[in-house]
C-alpha cells in the first residue's frame, strides 16, 4: 500500500503534467520514427523506445557499421511482447514499467526497514532522483531496478537461489546486471570471508545468463559479442579520454545543455554515494554504485551518465534516506529541486527533446 501511495503522490502528478504538454511544443528528434500507436501513452515511447519496438515487432537486427537493435538486451522487450498479447504495445509497455516501479518501491521499503531508515524517505529518493523519469517510460530501467532491489532483498535475507534467479534476470535486462552480479558476489565474500552458497549461486547465475545471451547473439549474428561491437556505431570505439574530454568541453561550454551539467554532476555525487553506501550498508552496495560509475567512465562515456546511474539507485536511495534523518529542511529543499528536475525531464522526454 505505501509503495503505491508513494507512486500516486510523487510520480503520477509528474507523469500527468508531462502528458498534458505532449504536442503543445514542437516535437523534437526523439519523437521521430515512432509508428502511430494507441492513445496518449504513445508519449512515453521516445528515443530508445523505438529500438525496443523494433525488437518486439521484428526481432533483432545487426550491422557492424550501423546502429543496431542487437545492442539492447532482451528481457524488457520479451516482457512487453508477452503482455502485448492481450493489449496494445504502448499499454503493455506502460503496465510492465509501472508494475516494475511499484515492485521496486516495495523492495526499497523492505530494505529501508532492515537498515532502520525511514522508508518514505528512501522511496522519495527513488521517485525524485533527477533522471528518474526514465523509470516511467518505455525503457528497461524500471524492470532492472525491480530485479536489482529484490536481488538485494534476497541477498540480505540469505536466499541464494532466489538472489541468483533475480541476478540472472537483471543480466538479461541490462548490461549493468553484470555489475550487480559482481557486487553481490564480492560483497558476500567480503562479508563472510569465505566463498559461501550466496556467492556461488549468484556467480553461477550471472555466468549462465551471459553465456545464454552470447549463444543467442551468436546464433542470430554469427558474432557472440555483437551486442558490444554494435556500440561502436553510437561512438563508443574512440580514444576513451578523448571522448570524455570532448563531452566535458561540450558540457562546460553549454553545447550539451542542462543534461551535460547533470551528467557531469553525477560523477562526484555517485562516487560520494558509493563510498557512503560501503560504510553505511556494506561492500555490496558500495561496489555496485562505484562499478556503475566506473564502467561508463572507463569507456569514455559521460553522455547519458545520469540515466545510467539509475542502476545504482538502490544504494543511493538508502544512503539519502539515512542522511535525511535530522535534516528535514535541507533534504526538503533538495527534494523540491530534484522533483522539479524530474518534471522538466518528463516534459522534455515526451516531446522528444532530451534523452539523458
Q: Nearest 5°: phi and psi at 19? A: -60, -40
- The residue with greater pLDDT, 342 or 30, is 342
State the pLDDT at residue 249. 67
State the pLDDT at residue 236. 57
Quote the CA–CA distance of 267 and 264 in Å, as a whole number: 6
Residue 199 burial class via C-beta count within 10 angstroms: exposed 0-12, middle 13-18, buried 19 and up: buried
State the pLDDT at residue 253. 64
Start-end of H helices in the chain: 2-10, 12-21, 49-58, 75-83, 89-114, 119-127, 141-156, 160-173, 177-192, 197-221, 226-229, 240-253, 257-280, 283-298, 305-308, 313-324, 328-350
What band does 281 get if pLDDT is binned at 50, 70 and 90?
Answer: very high
Q: At what angle do helices 257-280 and 313-324 cross, to 10 degrees?
A: 70
Intra-chain end-to-end CA distance of the chain, in Å: 31
Chain segment 4-59, per-residue pLDDT in tens: 999 999 999 999 999 888 877 777 777 776 666 666 778 888 888 888 988 998 88
Quote the CA–CA distance of 263 and 185 in Å, as a whole number: 29
Mention every residue, 6+ apart, whose C-beta is less than 8 A from residue 163: 151, 154, 155, 184, 198, 201, 202, 205
Q: Which three cell numbers stand for residue 176?
A: 549493468
Instruction: Give the predicted TM-score (pTM) of the model.
Output: 0.93
Chain segment 204-239, per-residue pLDDT in tens: 999 999 999 999 999 988 888 888 888 776 665 555
Quote the CA–CA distance of 133 and 127 in Å, as a whole number: 8
Buried b (16+ CB within 10 A) or exposed e, 115-129: bebebbbbbbbbbbb
Chain segment 153-202, per-residue pLDDT in tens: 999 999 999 999 999 999 999 999 999 999 999 999 988 765 689 999 99
> In the predicted model, is pLDDT for residue 277 greater than 80?
yes
Q: Which long-range contacts (CB under 8 A, 24 or more apart) does 256-260 make?
A: 256/303, 257/354, 258/344, 259/303, 259/306, 259/354, 259/355, 259/356, 260/303
> In the predicted model, is pLDDT for residue 301 greater than 90?
no
State the pLDDT at residue 73. 94
Chain segment 53-103, per-residue pLDDT in tens: 889 988 888 887 778 888 899 999 999 999 999 988 888 999 999 999 999
> In the predicted model, is pLDDT for residue 299 greater than 90?
no
Chain segment 105-153, per-residue pLDDT in tens: 999 999 999 999 999 999 999 999 999 999 999 999 999 999 999 999 9
Angstrom distances, CA of residue 263 to CA of 219, 258, 345? 36, 9, 13
- In degrees, to the nearest 5, what angle opens at C-alpha 74 toward C-alphas 226 and 266? 85
Closest to 95 measured CA to CA, from 174, 38, 54, 170: 38
Amino acid at each position: 500500500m505505501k509503495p503505491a501511495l508513494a507512486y500516486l503522490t510523487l510520480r503520477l502528478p509528474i507523469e500527468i503534467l508531462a502528458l498534458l504538454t505532449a504536442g503543445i511544443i514542437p516535437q523534437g528528434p526523439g519523437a521521430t520514427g515512432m509508428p502511430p500507436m494507441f492513445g496518449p501513452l504513445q508519449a512515453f515511447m521516445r528515443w530508445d523506445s523505438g529500438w525496443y519496438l523494433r525488437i518486439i515487432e521484428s526481432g533483432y537486427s545487426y550491422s557492424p557499421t550501423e546502429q543496431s537493435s542487437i545492442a539492447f538486451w532482451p528481457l524488457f522487450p520479451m516482457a512487453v511482447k508477452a503482455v502485448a498479447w492481450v493489449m496494445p504495445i504502448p499499454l503493455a509497455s506502460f503496465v510492465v514499467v509501472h508494475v516494475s516501479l511499484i515492485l521496486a518501491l516495495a523492495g526499497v521499503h523492505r530494505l529501508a526497514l532492515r537498515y532502520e531508515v525511514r522508508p518514505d524517505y528512501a522511496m522519495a529518493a527513488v521517485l525524485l532522483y533527477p533522471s528518474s523519469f526514465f523509470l516511467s517510460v518505455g525503457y528497461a530501467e524500471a524492470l532492472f531496478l525491480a530485479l536489482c532491489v529484490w536481488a538485494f532483498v534476497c541477498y540480505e535475507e540469505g536466499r541464494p537461489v532466489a538472489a541468483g534467479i533475480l541476478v540472472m534476470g537483471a543480466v538479461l535486462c541490462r548490461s549493468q546486471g553484470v555489475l550487480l552480479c559482481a557486487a553481490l558476489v564480492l560483497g558476500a565474500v567480503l562479508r563472510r570471508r569465505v566463498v559461501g552458497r550466496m556467492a556461488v549461486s549468484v556467480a553461477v547465475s550471472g555466468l549462465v545468463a551471459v553465456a545464454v545471451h552470447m549463444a543467442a547473439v551468436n546464433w542470430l549474428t554469427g558474432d557472440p559479442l555483437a551486442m558490444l561491437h554494435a556500440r561502436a556505431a553510437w561512438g563508443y570505439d574512440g580514444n576513451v579520454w578523448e571522448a570524455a574530454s570532448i563531452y566535458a568541453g561540450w558540457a562546460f561550454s553549454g553545447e550539451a545543455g542542462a543534461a551535460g551539467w547533470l551528467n557531469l554532476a553525477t560523477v562526484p555525487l555517485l562516487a560520494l554515494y558509493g563510498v557512503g553506501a560501503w560504510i553505511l550498508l556494506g561492500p555490496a552496495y558500495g561496489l555496485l554504485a562505484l562499478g556503475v560509475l566506473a564502467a561508463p567512465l572507463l569507456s569514455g562515456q559521460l553522455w547519458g551518465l545520469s540515466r545510467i546511474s539509475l542502476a545504482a539507485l538502490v544504494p543511493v536511495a538508502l544512503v539519502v534516506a539515512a542522511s535525511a534523518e535530522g535534516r528535514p529542511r535541507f533534504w526538503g529543499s533538495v527534494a523540491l529541486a530534484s522533483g522539479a528536475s524530474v518534471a522538466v525531464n518528463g516534459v522534455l522526454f515526451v516531446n522528444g527533446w532530451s534523452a539523458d
